[in-house]
Structure 1
């Protein structure tokens, strides 16, 4: 089977356009995939337990619901890889509901893309979902993500 190399469309459900033009789809895994929508080339799953296997390449970060990633260094590496790959691949970021952990990750990607850490949550809420990044510690994690080489938001 030939690999589908089409990019996301800015009009696809859940797609966030970063300032650099990178397109990344955020998604809640509780909602089924639209069979007409393209599948990701690469996905980053932010869940409290390992996700089921998929037909595309993926990475899992242990990140319990309403919390922060269990390993901040692993999360930073995974988010950086997703941001880099989004330059020329269809990248999806997903958690169960698609708002808290996914929104937090998208805000971190916005920081990597040049959005100031103090503005990244507002950026994601405006361009992705008004209820993204659900908890105070998730908001603090995003602010601290851009402060140093490590995300140090512990909550």
Structure 2
């Protein structure tokens, strides 16, 4: 597979990446686990507290951003999170190898992947099931994360 899809540019996709409904690719993972082999991301979006950032930021040698996002919660700054998630989606649509990660790679990461699926054209009511089928069976861990996805603003 080349990573090409309708409207998506060719890319060198990352090991472990999943294909979004619009054909673009994103890798979701947990920072507490070793990074997969293969190419490095061109960009990463990381979700967590200052403590998680201090623990992992130095190992992230590629361009990246952080969103202050408590475990089992939703982002502290909704507007920043929406901008960063949309920007990650645009990078993926352009064919850049991108990843999103939190501590465990399940709740917060799954929430962002579900939002990316919504930006890819999936109905918000289907995004959690799609994410659980394609990323992790326990993705999107809390009712407020599901509600956040349902209210995620589409352009």
| TM tier relative to shorter chain | 0.7 to 0.9
Alignment partners' CA distance in 1, 2:147 and 2:18:
21
Counterpart of 2:137 in 1: which secondary structure?
coil
Partner of 1:23: 25
Q: Structure 2 stretches of 5 or more lacking a match?
A: 1-9
Residue 16 of structure 1 deviates from its aligned partner by 1.8
TM-score of the superposition, structure 1-length normalised?
0.85
Alignment partners' CA distance in 2, 1:67 and 1:48:
11
Provide Cα deviations, 1:94-150, integer angstroms capped at 9, x if missing partner: 00000000000000011111000111011111111111000111011101114x67x
Partner of 2:76: 70
Alignment partners' CA distance in 1, 2:11 and 2:80:
29
Q: How much is the aligned-residue C-alpha RMSD, in angstroms?
A: 1.6
Alignment partners' CA distance in 1, 2:139 and 2:88:
19
Provide Cα deviations, 1:52-109, integer angstroms capped at 9, x if missing partner: 1321000000001011000000000000000000121011000000000000000001
TM-score of the superposition, structure 2-length normalised?
0.85
Provide Cα deviations, 1:12-56, integer angstroms capped at 9, x if missing partner: 32x22111110000010000113x321111000001113413210
Alignment partners' CA distance in 2, 1:99 and 1:109:
15
Counterpart of 1:19 in 2: which secondary structure?
coil
Partner of 1:52: 57
Alignment partners' CA distance in 2, 1:68 and 1:132:
14
The answer as to 2:42 corresponding to 1:41 is yes
Question: Which of 131, 139, 150 is equivalent to 2:138?
Answer: 131
Alignment partners' CA distance in 1, 2:101 and 2:120:
19
Question: Per residue, is there more helix in 1 or in 2?
Answer: 2
Alignment partners' CA distance in 2, 1:122 and 1:129:
10
Structure 1 runs of 4+ off > 4 angstroms?
none
Counterpart of 2:46 in 1: which secondary structure?
strand
Q: Structure 1 stretches of 5 or more lacking a match?
A: 150-155
